[in-house]
Amino acid sequence: MNQKGFANIALIALVVILAGVAGYFALVKKSEPVVQQTTPPPTTTQTPTPQQPSPAPINETTSWKTYTGNAQSLSFEFNLPTDFSLGKHQELTTNYQYYLDSFTSQSKINQYFSVLITPVAEIRERNRVLSDGKDNSQEPITLGNIIAESHKYNTYLAKVVNKGETTVSGIPAIRQEITIVADSSGGIRISTFLLKDDMLIELSVPKTFDETLYRQILSTFRFTK
């Protein structure tokens, strides 16, 4: 073999080797798995909405009229809606002693608020006379006892139903539903009773009176002396 023929054979062998290497790398690259880059979704930060402060409740009683009263050692005041006016005032210091203020609505029929104050000694003296001399002056002066004594010989009462306990001007009170039979006004009234300085205070409205309004009036009742 001459030198030219040997060179041709060597060239062919080199081409075959290069083609094989190129095919190998092409095959390896094709078989590699393609890794996809995933972009995480953007993080959304929610800014909390500031809460608006609740509006302060409106105190309707501040625009009402203020009434004051004095019954012996007691001084007191309370507020009433502007359409209420004093319809009746009685204050007796002889025979049967008591203090009464009755306020009536000018816009609603048969709507009133009354304040009746009676000394405990007067209630017991009246009962002593009506019971032919039975003396109960030594009985404990408790709210329940005095309410019962005030009802005992009252011929105007047909029925009394206890409606629970409450407070008025920070003082324990008892609420009752009282049915009247011989009274000129008739009907049923709701009364709240409390004791102060040996005085029985009765704060009354007719049963048809608005319950919320009654509670608002009672919330304004306070003793000033």
Q: Are 103 and 114 in contact (CB under 8 A)?
A: yes
Residue 180, in any domain of the structure: yes
Beta bridge partners of 179: 159, 188
Has residue 175 been placed in a domain?
Answer: yes
pLDDT tens, residue by residue, 133-190:
778 778 899 999 999 999 998 888 889 999 999 999 999 999 999 998 755 455 899 9
Q: Are residues 13 and 65 in the same domain?
A: no
Residues of the domain holding 178: 60-223
Residue 92 and residue 142 share a domain: yes
Domain check: are 155 and 83 in the same one?
Answer: yes
Q: Let me know whether 127 and 183 are in one domain.
A: yes
Tens-place pLDDT, residues 64-111: 999 999 988 899 999 999 999 998 888 876 666 789 999 999 998 889
37, part of any domain: no
Helix (H, G, I), strand (E, B) or coil at 145: helix
Residue 41 forms part of a structural domain = no
Q: How far apart are CA 41 and CA 136, in angstroms?
A: 89
Average pLDDT over residues 18-38: 54
Would you give the distance in Å from CA 196 to the centre of its chain? 26
Q: 160 — phi, psi (to 5°)?
A: -130, 130
User: Range with the lowest mean pLDDT among 1-5, 9-13, 64-68?
Assistant: 1-5
**Inter-residue contact 149 to 130 (CB < 8 Å):** no
Distance in Å from the first CA to the final CA of the chain: 144
207 and 134 in a common domain: yes
Residue 192, Cβ neighbours under 10 Å: how many?
Answer: 22
User: What gap in Å lies between CA 176 and CA 183, rounded to an integer?
Assistant: 17
Instruction: Note whether residue 213 is domain-resident.
Output: yes
Are 15 and 65 in a shared domain?
no
> Is the domain of 152 the same as that of 214?
yes
How many domains is the chain built from?
A: 2
- Residue-level pLDDT at 95: 61
- The answer to whether residue 218 is domain-embedded is yes
Tokens linked to 161: 């139903």
Q: Is the residue at 164 inside a domain?
A: yes
Label residue 59 left, alpha or beta by phi (over 0 means left) and psi (-120 to 50 means alpha).
beta
Whole-number pLDDT of residue 211? 95
CATH of the domain at 76: 3.40.1000.10
Note whether residue 209 is domain-resident. Answer: yes
Cross-strand partners of 77: 68, 222
Give the pLDDT band of residue 5 (cuts 50, 70, 90).
low
**Is the same domain home to 127 and 75?**
yes
Q: For residues 25 and 71, state if they share a domain.
A: no
Residue 84 burial by Cβ neighbours in a 10 Å radius (0-12, 13-18, 19+): buried
- My answer on whether 65 and 170 are in the same domain is yes
Residue 61 has pLDDT above 80, yes or no: yes
- The answer to whether residues 121 and 218 belong to one domain is yes
Q: Which residues contact 61 (CB under 8 A, 6 or more apart)?
A: 79, 216, 217, 219, 220
| Residue 19 sits in the same domain as residue 84 | no
In this prediction, residues 126-131 reach a mean pLDDT of 88
**CA gap 218, 68 in Å, rounded:** 14
Residue 174 CB neighbours (<10 A): 17
As a whole number of angstroms, the distance between CA 169 and CA 165 comes to 14
